[in-house]
Structure 1
Amino acid sequence: MTKRKSSVDDLFHLQSVTNPQLSPNGNEAVFIKTHIDKEENKYISNLYHIDLRTDEVTQWTYGDHRVTSPKWSADGKQIAFLSNREEKNQLFLLSAKGGEAKKLTSFEKGVSSFEWSPCGTKIYFDAPVKEGKTFTDKEKKDEKKLPEPVRVTKMKYKADGVGLLPQDSYRQIGVIDIASGDVSQFTEGSYQHSLQAVSHDGKKMVIGVNRAENLDFEFRQPLYLVDVETKEETVIVDEIGYYGGARFSFDDHYVAFVGSDRTYQNATHGHLYVYDTRRGNRINLTESVDAPVGDYTVADHQQGASAPSVVWTKDNQLYFQLSTMGDVRLYFGTLEGELYPATPENEHVYGYDVNRDGDFALLAVSDLTHPGEIYKQTIATGERQALTSFNKQFLDEVELIQPEQIVFKGEKDWDVHGWLMKPYGYEEGKKYPLIVDIHGGPHAMFANTYFHEMQLLSAQGWGVLYINPRGSHGYNQQFVDAVRGDYGGGDFTDIMDAVDYVLAEEQWIDEQRLGVTGGSYGGFMTNWIVGHTDRFKAAVTQRSICNWISFFGVSDIGYYFSEWQIAADMKDVETLWKHSPLKYAENVKTPLLILHSEKDFRCPIEQAEQLYITLKSMGKETEFVRFPDADHNLSRTGKPNLRVERLNEITGWFEKYL
């Protein structure tokens, strides 16, 4: 059978398979499958079950809602999860024998996260609660209520994907008795608490909270070991930086967690730490590894994928993710400092769990031409067995293009890593356009994972080049830090060197038909490129930055991100302006399409408005498309119809000019 090429509508054929969770005895597992319903224009996810003795896969929840965060009770008889069946995420309970899920909470502001108590009779959770109110208090709905002004007194008063932050609401930790439904509040005070972990004996928990009065310039989350009975706190870590993902060892002697200090601000590598609860000291288990712990992948397929920061085995071995050279691999570690990769190269492990004995792991794995499924891997041998095949029909029908990995020497003799895709239907001897696609962040990375957008661009008959320039994660600390204070410098050089490299190596690329696109930082870089070279015949900038001066005050992160990344604030507008693509608008000769979301609070739409009006006033070839009801994450989690329109705009622009 002849396979077809990738299409925009593949968004509706792809299945996202995520979040494998092993039962305590290791004989069962649950996971989440998400698909996009075209008619309903929404994402739908449900809970699935695997019997690991028979490999039978069964759907356990139904409906047109979303399910997240499944967790087994300690005895393996129940699974709790969050679901937005009633708009806000609430806590539900399902028997491992099947049946209907029981709703446990009806909180006004929903539930943020939860952890089982080991006794199985109660569940700890954290959830927003209005000051002076309780979790269960209901606000009166008044349809005739008039709009009211909002008084802002803090600098952190809005957030992308959320909007204006409540000024009098705080996340508190509580506990619910499953049998009676009684809810009590564990923490108090006008602070944002996060529930991290509950010990296996039920006597301790780990919480995160910053109790500083003014959080505007507080970039840290201290972790505390708390006695459940007395509420006495012991500091685990209280340093500048964000720490979390805590997990107790099975004997409760250790707490593992991940985090990074601010040595290189937000470019600092994440590490895995272990705290000894008896001695009160901690060690950095990955200090010798010059790569970040965690998953820093940029892609557009997986929905709601989350992986544990760390998983313990009974003999105090640990498993965690590491981003390295475009891979996200599962790593194994011991308290003695041994560290080994547990999964192979050239793939993206975006979810995992490991059984208590350390015999096998459940992995959610994707690669460059596979959207991802759940696998069982024997730890000792590396042997794998596929447990799900939800994307089999898609893979049988669609011809996916295999990206070829490239490495070339950049400035300072650094290796720069990336991928080059030939166009669909490639024929030897013919010339084809090339699209350069630039990721956001900048401290993220393209990876050996399935990327629908890249396959779609190739399907149009274009080559695709995407690289990890300096500033990208997955490489050494010096490399990821090198972009700070040098936006438009060495990073621009890396991208242009990549173009020169593939032009010299590949005769099929038509250097007269080059296109460039990118979002967020990639949008900034697209704007920068067209203001500094006319090599590209078409460009599409998305959710971009063009003016660091205004960005400082309008972005939800601008007032500190600008200093971290550009090394300047409003006392040094000359430096901010020097790094602003808007300054170089007069040089632009490339037809530029500007795409931006109306509700983007990270890179607000005024950035696009400035760029469009400036270019238009100068007689440049440009158009501006605004996406309603969309935020900074349109390309990944936006409303499906808008994601389709975005892709159509990108391909339409390049088709017109290339």
Structure 2
Amino acid sequence: MSNSKRAIKAEDFTKLEVFSDPRFSPDGSTYSYVSTTINDKKEYESHLFFQHVNDSEAQQWTFGDVKNSNPRFSPDGKQVVFQSNRSGLPQLWILHTDGGEARQLTTFKNGAGKPNWSKDGKHIIFSASLEADDDVHSQKEQSKEERQKEAEEKKKQPLIINRLKYKSDANGFHSNKRSQLVLFDMEKETFTQLTSDDTDHGYLDISPDGNLVLFAGNLNKDADYELISDLFLLNRTTKDITKLTNGEGAYHNASFSPNGDKIASFGHEYVYDGATLNELYIFDVKTKERTCLSEEWDIQLGDAMIGDIKLGQSTTGPIWAKDEKHLFFIATDFGATGLYQVTLDSDLKLLYKDDNHVFGFSYDPGAETFILGINTPTNPCNFYQLNSESELKRLTNANATFLDEVSIAEPETLTVTADDGWEIQGWLLRPYGFEEGKKYPFVLEVHGGPHAMYGQAFFHEMQLLAAKGYVVLYTNPRGSHGYGQQFVDAVRSDYGGKDFTDLMSAVDYVLENYSFIDENRLGVTGGSYGGFMTNWIVGHTNRFKAAVTQRSISNWLSFYGVSDIGYFFTKWELGKHLMEDPEKLWNFSPLKYAENVETPLLILHGEKDFRCPIEQGEQLFVTLKHLRKNVEFVRFPDASHELSRSGKPEMRIERLNHIGRWFEKYL
């Protein structure tokens, strides 16, 4: 098959423009969004754009080698507050929509972010990282030199730890600072600290009358031992805080109805621990009565799609309709995400869903229209307007030049019947320049999570492997989102069981049905849970001739104590923690089966991965090397668990090149 377009390359993700966070202006005639790119310095930068819904071109609002995000229109549409690191740290800035330079609002020592307007436009509420004795009235941003000096001094001091939750993959080692809510008075230009408890406060919304601030957090004395996230109402006048929820679950994405008498929220009560599907709840503000609208549904609310070009956050709902009788939200179902509507009587209606990934939306109550952010398997992102007649109009043409010159493989959707009759969804990519009659090597990709989902979305790593001449298969074995509560829960306490046979059934299926796959040249790779599964596969079968395990779990016994989530995730997923049944944890550990490994194995791991710490890769490497197995270990400096998605671009390229090198050598 001839192809006039070139094959995709490892570094091509640096040429992509990635969109996020569409936001209608108050009158609905325009919208803003964030565009993230990688500049010539191989660093991420993000900028604010503004577009009239009737125009074909967007206007860029911010410039420079900086990161701008979280744009929020004032209620009158005349100003936009946003977050930017142009001064050195993330701070709040304000920009007039009719032009002019941005003005800095905050100079907090540790930065400020996630701004939102009060409904009357008189105040801006934001989050700031503060210590117990910090004064919001005298905050001063440090210079670059002052920050560097403080960081150097900190390195000389021992780290004293007295909390269970003392580190996270996202933020490293935690300090004594807490995320507090602060209010900025636009007229007086003064700051008021709204919260002060020794916990992190996540701002969600403010009531239409401006008196009640809705936030999420855990104010319990045992919060360090809990994974609870309750909803709270803070009275701005009295400073009284009222708990809205029952202290048994995790609630998020909550918002007031237009008249302020109700609150809608996603959440769940850990019925299936970390595999529990989100529910949609309505709370009565006065009576605190809770109603579940999603009790009869069997879909995951929100976006569970996994990918390697997702940068920036976008709204997934729930969002109130102007009549207060409907709510809108994104949900994950059968390899795709779509936009849904529900009444307060739980009448669910699909507004838009196709073979793609709806990653965010904005609602205009005036015209009853939506801006949808859509990512497809062959197009990284664009924005579309969905009108009240369900007609879709494309607004942007992102990455057009790139897509014109590069060949993108179209995935073929598969349904595989597992050995016990369960149906497993997957996708197959044919190699670049595919020719009938030829035999091609094959790579199986296994996603992380495990409670996540591959699907109808652009995935650079998959496209790269196809471009290098491999048939690529990626599937959603049980444990994945998108197929209901029983399916996503089925992997728990069965790691390496039916999930393993699901994957092998998928490999068997494609070998039987696609004659162009060379059964003697099979490879496998995956990260996180996918890394665990890669390790498990090579310890339980020798059918693969090459394997690459990434940011993996190899030993559940040590994972319990070294991972930022190990002390609870281990029991969530395996049914027991270290002190309860160490033998069970060892039986689930790929390291136990190291003597069985005959497949050449490449281990890729970030040195600052706190989710699956690098000692997991070290143990596997040392054991296999000691057994004189064919193994190689690549350590990525300063790389966290997010290496493949938002890590340093140069390290991301190195990682892809190592994967390509290993498969080229052995397949």
Query: Normalising by structure 1, what TM-score?
Result: 0.97
2:576 paired with 1:574: no
Give the distance between the partners of 2:57 and 2:478, measured in 1 at CA: 46
1:244 to 1:397, Cα distance in 2 relative to 1, 3 A: same
Stretches of structure 2 that go unaligned for 5 or more consecutive residues are none
2:29 paired with 1:27: yes
Deviation at 1:15, TM superposition (A): 0.9
2:206 paired with 1:198: yes
2:497 paired with 1:489: yes
Among 231, 236, 249, which residue is 1:241 paired with? 249
Match of 1:9 in 2: 11
Give the distance between the partners of 2:629 and 2:99, measured in 1 at CA: 62
Among 281, 297, 309, which residue is 1:301 paired with? 309
- Structure 1 counterpart SS, 2:244: strand
Match of 1:130 in 2: 131
Deviation at 1:235, TM superposition (A): 3.0
Deviates more, 1:280-289 or 1:581-590: 280-289
Please list the CA deviations of residues 512-538 of structure 1 after superposition, one character each: whole Å capped at 9, or x if unmatched: 000000000000000000000000000
Give the distance between the partners of 1:118 and 1:305, measured in 2 at CA: 22
2:350 paired with 1:348: no
Deviation at 1:379, TM superposition (A): 3.0
Which aligned pairs between 1:389-404 and structure 2 lie closer than 5 A? 389-404=397-412
Contact 2:107 2:140 in 1 (8 A): no
Match of 1:472 in 2: 480
Query: Normalising by structure 2, what TM-score?
Result: 0.96
Contact 1:3 1:399 in 2 (8 A): yes
Stretches of structure 1 that go unaligned for 5 or more consecutive residues are none
Match of 2:661 in 1: 652
Contact 1:221 1:238 in 2 (8 A): no
- Structure 2 counterpart SS, 1:85: coil
Among 366, 380, 388, which residue is 1:371 paired with? 380
Contact 1:222 1:236 in 2 (8 A): yes
Please list the CA deviations of residues 398-452 of structure 1 after superposition, one character each: whole Å capped at 9, or x if unmatched: 1111111111112442111110111111111111111000000000010101001
Deviation at 1:53, TM superposition (A): 4.0
Give the distance between the partners of 1:444 and 1:563, measured in 2 at CA: 19
Deviation at 1:455, TM superposition (A): 0.4
Which aligned pairs between 1:626-637 and structure 2 lie closer than 5 A? 626-637=635-646
Deviation at 1:138, TM superposition (A): 4.8
Give the distance between the partners of 1:421 and 1:457, measured in 2 at CA: 9
Deviates more, 1:460-469 or 1:274-283: 274-283
Query: Which amino acid in 2 is paired with 1:378?
Result: N
Give the distance between the partners of 1:256 and 1:358, measured in 2 at CA: 22
Query: Which amino acid in 2 is paired with 1:351?
Result: G
Match of 2:174 in 1: 165
Among 595, 600, 618, which residue is 1:591 paired with? 600
Please list the CA deviations of residues 78-108 of structure 1 after superposition, one character each: whole Å capped at 9, or x if unmatched: 1111112234221111111121111111111
- Structure 2 counterpart SS, 1:216: helix
Which aligned pairs between 1:491-510 and structure 2 lie closer than 5 A? 491-510=499-518
Query: Which amino acid in 2 is paired with 1:435?
Result: V
Give the distance between the partners of 2:559 and 2:82, measured in 1 at CA: 39
Query: Which amino acid in 2 is paired with 1:108?
Result: K
Give the distance between the partners of 1:72 and 1:288, measured in 2 at CA: 37
Deviates more, 1:407-416 or 1:261-270: 407-416
Which aligned pairs between 1:444-593 and structure 2 lie closer than 5 A? 444-571=452-579, 572-593=581-602
Contact 2:430 2:471 in 1 (8 A): yes
Deviation at 1:309, TM superposition (A): 2.6
Deviation at 1:456, TM superposition (A): 0.4
Match of 2:231 in 1: 223
Provide the alpha-carbon RMSD of the alignment. Answer: 1.5
Please list the CA deviations of residues 243-286 of structure 1 after superposition, one character each: whole Å capped at 9, or x if unmatched: 01111111212211111211000000012211122443221122
Deviation at 1:217, TM superposition (A): 2.3
Give the distance between the partners of 1:277 and 1:121, measured in 2 at CA: 23
Contact 1:114 1:195 in 2 (8 A): no
Query: Which amino acid in 2 is paired with 1:611?
Result: L
Query: Which amino acid in 2 is paired with 1:605?
Result: I
Which aligned pairs between 1:76-91 and structure 2 lie closer than 5 A? 76-91=77-92
Deviation at 1:597, TM superposition (A): 0.3
Contact 1:219 1:240 in 2 (8 A): no
Match of 2:53 in 1: 52
Identity among equivalent positions (%) equals 45
Give the distance between the partners of 1:200 and 1:219, measured in 2 at CA: 30
Among 313, 336, 342, which residue is 2:321 paired with? 313
Deviation at 1:358, TM superposition (A): 5.8
Give the distance between the partners of 2:420 and 2:411, measured in 1 at CA: 26
Deviates more, 1:298-307 or 1:539-548: 298-307
Query: Which amino acid in 2 is paired with 1:74?
Result: P
Among 336, 352, 370, which residue is 2:345 paired with? 336
Give the distance between the partners of 1:152 and 1:235, measured in 2 at CA: 30
Give the distance between the partners of 1:127 and 1:411, measured in 2 at CA: 52
Match of 1:602 in 2: 611
Deviation at 1:373, TM superposition (A): 0.6
Which aligned pairs between 1:429-444 and structure 2 lie closer than 5 A? 429-444=437-452
Deviation at 1:215, TM superposition (A): 2.4
Deviates more, 1:420-429 or 1:308-317: 308-317
Which aligned pairs between 1:178-197 and structure 2 lie closer than 5 A? 178-197=186-205
Deviation at 1:228, TM superposition (A): 2.1
Query: Which amino acid in 2 is paired with 1:625?
Result: V
1:211 to 1:278, Cα distance in 2 relative to 1, 3 A: closer
Query: Which amino acid in 1 is paired with 2:368?
Result: D
- Structure 2 counterpart SS, 1:647: helix
Please list the CA deviations of residues 312-333 of structure 1 after superposition, one character each: whole Å capped at 9, or x if unmatched: 2211221101000011111111
1:232 to 1:125, Cα distance in 2 relative to 1, 3 A: same
- Structure 2 counterpart SS, 1:419: strand
Contact 1:549 1:576 in 2 (8 A): yes
Please list the CA deviations of residues 145-194 of structure 1 after superposition, one character each: whole Å capped at 9, or x if unmatched: 4711121111110110311101x222211111234431111112222212
Contact 1:115 1:125 in 2 (8 A): yes
Please list the CA deviations of residues 36-81 of structure 1 after superposition, one character each: whole Å capped at 9, or x if unmatched: 11x3121111000011244441111111111111111111111111
Give the distance between the partners of 1:430 and 1:307, measured in 2 at CA: 46
Give the distance between the partners of 2:623 and 2:346, measured in 1 at CA: 56
Contact 2:525 2:531 in 1 (8 A): yes
Give the distance between the partners of 2:429 and 2:630, measured in 1 at CA: 28
Give the distance between the partners of 1:376 and 1:347, measured in 2 at CA: 15
Match of 2:116 in 1: 115
Query: Which amino acid in 1 is paired with 2:74?
Result: S
Give the distance between the partners of 1:490 and 1:379, measured in 2 at CA: 44
2:160 paired with 1:151: yes
Give the distance between the partners of 1:655 and 1:165, measured in 2 at CA: 41
- Structure 2 counterpart SS, 1:21: strand
Please list the CA deviations of residues 470-517 of structure 1 after superposition, one character each: whole Å capped at 9, or x if unmatched: 100111101100111111111101000100011111111111000000
Contact 2:316 2:359 in 1 (8 A): no
Deviates more, 1:227-236 or 1:526-535: 227-236
- Structure 1 counterpart SS, 2:13: helix
Contact 1:549 1:570 in 2 (8 A): yes
Contact 1:161 1:600 in 2 (8 A): no
